[in-house]
Amino acid sequence: MSTDLIPAIDLRDGRCVRLHQGDFAQETRYDADPVELAKEYADAGATRLHVVDLDGARSGQPEQAALIGEMQRASGLPVQTGGGLRGEAQIKALLEAGAARVVVGTTVVKEPEAFGGWLQSYGADRVVAALDVRAGEDGQFYPATAGWTEAGDQTLDTLLDKLADYGLVHLLCTDISRDGTLTGPNLGLYEALVSRGLKVQASGGVSSVEDLAVLKTIGVDGIIVGKALLEGRFTVAEALQCLRDG
C-alpha cells in the first residue's frame, strides 16, 4: 500500500501561516507566497495539496476560494480544501471550481446526517471528514469544532460508528495537542483509525522523515505536513524518497 505526502498550506488574510495547536493567537507567518509555494511543492514532486482556509474556519463560510483556485491552477495539482464548509451550496461551488476533494469538519460533528447526505450526493471519494480531536480525562478522544474553538461532547468512536453507516471512506484526523508542535504524530490514534478500514490522512506533529516511515508502516493513506516543510526539517524530495523506500 502506498502512502502519499500531502503538503499543507494554511491561509489567513491571504498569507501562508501556521497555528500552534489551533490557537489563532499563536500564529506564525511565513514569507512564502501561497501560489509560489504550491508551485514549488509541485515542482518537487508532490502529487496533491491540502489547503486550509483559516478565515473560513472562523467565519463559517469560505473566504479564500479565489486564492485557492489560483493555487490549484498554478500548481496543476489536485487540491483538497476546507475551512468554513457548512452548507451544500459551498461544497458544490468548490467542487465545480476545480477542487479535487472538499474537507468538512464542524458539520460532521454537529450534523452527521447532513454530512452523510453529502457523501451520498457527491461521492465518498470527493468528500473528506476532518476530525480534530483532543484527549479527554477518560482517555477517549473528542472531536472539536468551529476552528478548534468549541469542544464536542461525543467520542470519536461514537461519531465514526455513525459515519460508517453513510459509507465514509476518507478521514483526516488531527490530534490538536500535536498540531504545529513538531513533537511527532500520535501513532496509537492512527493505528486505531486504520484498523477501521478507512483511508486515513494523518495530520499533526510530524517533524522528521522517521515519522513518515512509521506512519507508512501503520498504513495511513496520506500524511499531511505543514510546519516541518516550511521550517526546513526535511524537503518534499526527501519525504518522497523516504515513502518510496519505506
Indicate if 221 belongs to the active site.
no
Work out the burial of residue 165: count CB atoms within 10 Å of its CB; fewer than 13 is exposed, 13-18 middle, 19 or more buried: exposed
Query: Of these residues, 53, 55, 132, 175, which one is catalytic?
Result: 132
The shares of helix, strand and coil residues in the chain, as percent rounded to the nearest 5, are 40, 25, 35
Query: Of these residues, 10, 53, 179, 221, which one is catalytic?
Result: 10
Indicate if 125 belongs to the active site.
no
**CA distance linking residue 29 with residue 219, whole number of Å:** 32
How wide is the angle at C-alpha 199 spanned by C-alphas 187 and 10, nearest 5°?
A: 75
**Cα dist. 129→171, 217, 236 in Å?**
5, 23, 25
Neighbours of 192 (CB within 10 A): 17
The catalytic site residues sit at 10, 132
